[in-house]
Amino acid sequence: MSSAPDSAHPSTHMRAEIMQQPAALQTTIDALLPRAAEAGKLARDTRQVLFIARGTSDNAAVYGTYLIQAYAGRLATLASPSIATTYRSRLDLSGVLAVALSQSGQTDEIVETLAWASDCGARTLAITNGAGSPVAEAAEVAFVTEAGVEQAVPATKTFTTQLAALAVLAIGLGAELDAGLLRQVPAEIEAMLARPLDLGPIVAGLADVQGVVVSGRGLAYSAALELALKLKEACYLHAMGLSYADLLHGPIAVVDARTPAIVLAAGDGPTLDGTVDLALRVTGAGAQAYAIGGGARLAAASSLALPGPALPEWLAPMGLIVPGQLLTEALARRLGLDPDRPRGLSKVTQTA
Confidence of residue 259 (pLDDT cuts 50, 70, 90): confident
User: What's the confidence (pLDDT) of residue 252?
Assistant: 65
**Alpha carbon distance 62, 76 (integer Å):** 9
Confidence of residue 8 (pLDDT cuts 50, 70, 90): very low
Sheet bearing 48-52, strands edge to edge:
75-78, 48-52, 96-102, 123-128, 141-144
Q: Is the dihedral of CA 5, 338, 291, 103 positive or negative?
A: positive
Nearest to 330 by CA among 11, 89, 7: 11
For the domain covering 197-334, report its CATH number: 3.40.50.10490
Helix %, strand %, coil % for the chain, to 5? Answer: 50, 15, 35
For the domain covering 13-189, report its CATH number: 3.40.50.10490
Confidence of residue 249 (pLDDT cuts 50, 70, 90): low
Q: Which residues contact 118 (CB under 8 A, 6 or more apart)?
A: 98, 124, 138, 140
Residue 2 pLDDT exceeds 50: no
Catalytic residues: 347
Q: Which amino acid is located at 46 in the chain? A: T
**What is the average per-residue pLDDT within 4-25?**
80
Confidence of residue 242 (pLDDT cuts 50, 70, 90): confident
Nearest to 53 by CA among 120, 4, 146, 117: 117
Q: Where are the domains of the chain?
A: 13-189, 197-334
Residue 9 pLDDT exceeds 50: no
| Beta carbons of 331 and 204 less than 8 angstroms apart | no
Phi, psi angles (nearest 5°) of residue 64: -60, -40
| Beta carbons of 165 and 34 less than 8 angstroms apart | no
Let me know if 88 is exposed, middle or buried by CB neighbors in 10 A (0-12, 13-18, 19+): exposed
HSE of 152 in the Cβ direction (CA atoms, 13 Å)?
27
**Alpha carbon distance 307, 274 (integer Å):** 18
- CA 174 → CA 43, 152, 179, 234, 335, distances in Å? 10, 36, 12, 38, 46
Nearest to 50 by CA among 110, 111, 100: 100
Q: What is the pLDDT of residues 68-107, one digit of tens each?
A: 999 999 999 999 999 999 999 999 999 999 999 999 999 9
CA dihedral 310, 289, 212, 64 (to 10 degrees): -30
- 8-state DSSP, 105: S
Angle at 155 between CA 220 and CA 78, to 5 degrees: 50
